[in-house]
Structure 1
Amino acid sequence: MNAIIVDDEEYSRQSLFFLINGYCPDVKVRGIARSVAEARSLLKSEQIDVVFLDIAMPVEDGFSLLPDLQRNITSVIFTTAYNQYAIKAIRASAVDYLLKPIDIQELQDSIGKAADWKSRTSDNDLLAASHETVFSSLNENLNEIKKIKKLNLPHSNGFHVLNISNILYIKADSNYSIFHIDKGEKIVVSKHLKEYESILEDCEFCRIHKSTMINLSHLQSYSNKNGLVVKMSDGTEHSVSRRRSPGFMDTVKDMFKK
């Protein structure tokens, strides 16, 4: 794959360049940009498959390049030194990212995902559609500063795009997460529930059991008559573990206050 690196810090640019050259033989770095403007020029002169993109840069931040990447059907791997709100938006949109200082194994894993996506989506129209799904969800999530609004769930040929409000609850099943949607549908994703817990923790979702996370906006009732049990809007009931009961009650009280 052909790649470019976009970062305003010289040390970060050079260290990532040497990591890719030394440990990622299937990637050829075709250019290094110090700004979004320089990156645009590189995208015009080269056919680029993946961009390693810093977020915090002067004049224009990394997100300003997203429309150009969408037009060029180019994958993006964000490289950043902070893991605040933007990271949640990125993860919810199923976009890959690397925290600085960059770990070699994580770098190789990210490149492997980009290569796998490109090889599985060989049809150019499907590839363009997948990129449009990713970038439109990411833009929508970034525009809402406090809450994630959409969640991209990857499958073998693309993504399921869910509005957060349509998720009733998520169940863990070994290394998989099963999303239960308000129309009775189920979507199985090969990721741990813990990953989605960290993405949705500020979106009125609450982990009530090691195997269950619920959307509190679909909570219908709860009772502690025979152990704490919640009832959801679809009529299903779920136990709240003893360890998580205090946190659940505090979260519900805070939600009612709001």
Structure 2
Amino acid sequence: MATLNTIIVDDEEFARSSLYFLLQENCPQVNICGIAKSVSEARTLLQQYEIDLIFLDIAMPGENGFSLIPQVQEANATVVFTTAYDQYALKAIKANAIDYLLKPIDIDELIEAVEKAAKHHLLKTNALIKNSSLKNLETDLKEQKGINRLTLPIGQGYRVVEVDDIIHIEADSNYSIFHLKNREKATVSKVLKDYEEILPEDRFVRVHKSSIVNLKYVKEYSNKNGLLLLLVNDERIAVSRRRASDFFDKLKLYAVSQNEKP
């Protein structure tokens, strides 16, 4: 089992100490090299040690956690965010971070996050994509305009896709298949519900237990044999009876918003 040199960055003393003891008791692959109560102290630790994993709080006085991103990229370290941040930030983190933990930290979620980080540590050849993911996260949070990109775990690496390029997402057991504008597909080992929670709800609608569609790419719909959508890629998607009302409501709002654009 590979050892992960780790630092904890959090301004709250209780949060730092509780996470330290949880890691000591449950994650033997973690070697805690230091604990910082500010971004400034974290930078010093990154200069002193070769760090593989950082547990990083977001909301801290002075500099917030995202101020550390340039040094994280330089160190080629993996970040797990620890946060009690607002819902928008949570969505952005889900979209782009390697992992995140909500305070108070659940032991099982902590163990899972460390296991993910250990796997990611073995994939340092994908550092360029990981860095791109962190940049996307910082941009999305600063702009506060919604999520523009998703970082998808693909095979032994990651792929960054523009949200606007997603035509629809199809469920396949415990996998989600992304159908993209360029007619490419990307299969991800996450369930559809994970992306239903992340994607902008004014554009993406869950129309069936196995389908999320981007309203931008709905070409036409028919009620002849049950509600059926035709998308611009010529695929036909069924809308379940119980989701039809929500689909029409959102389609009307989307059409109004498009008409109002200059």
For the criterion TM > 0.5, the same-fold answer is yes
- Letter in structure 2 aligned against 1:186: K
Report the RMSD for the aligned CA atoms in angstroms.
1.4
Match of 1:97 among 89, 97, 100: 100
2:255 is matched with 256
1:78 is matched with 81
Cα offset, 1:236, TM superposition: 1.4
Cα offset, 1:94, TM superposition: 4.2
- Letter in structure 1 aligned against 2:61: P
Cα offset, 1:53, TM superposition: 0.6
1:42 is matched with 45
Report the secondary structure of 1:147's partner residue.
coil
Report the secondary structure of 2:242's partner residue.
coil
Match of 1:15 among 15, 18, 22: 18
| Runs of at least 5 residues in structure 1 that lack an aligned partner in the other structure | none
| Runs of at least 5 residues in structure 2 that lack an aligned partner in the other structure | 258-262
Aligned: 1:137 with 2:136: yes
Aligned: 1:214 with 2:213: yes
CA offset digits 1:53-111 (Å, max 9, x no partner): 11111111111111110111011000012351111111111420000110111101000
Counterpart-to-counterpart distance in 2, 1:241 and 1:253? 18
Q: TM-score, normalised by structure 1?
A: 0.94
2:119 is matched with 116
Cα offset, 1:203, TM superposition: 5.5
Report the secondary structure of 2:73's partner residue.
helix
1:65 is matched with 68
Cα offset, 1:127, TM superposition: 4.2
Q: Is the 1:208–1:245 contact (alpha carbons within 8 Å) kept by the matching residues of 2? A: yes
How many residues matched?
Answer: 254
Q: Where does structure 1 differ by over 6 angstroms across 4 or more consecutive aligned residues?
A: none
Counterpart-to-counterpart distance in 2, 1:240 and 1:36? 48
Counterpart-to-counterpart distance in 1, 2:131 and 2:157? 11
Q: Is the 1:205–1:215 contact (alpha carbons within 8 Å) kept by the matching residues of 2? A: yes
Report the secondary structure of 1:82's partner residue.
coil
Identity of aligned residues (%): 49
Counterpart-to-counterpart distance in 1, 2:91 and 2:58? 13
Report the secondary structure of 1:226's partner residue.
coil
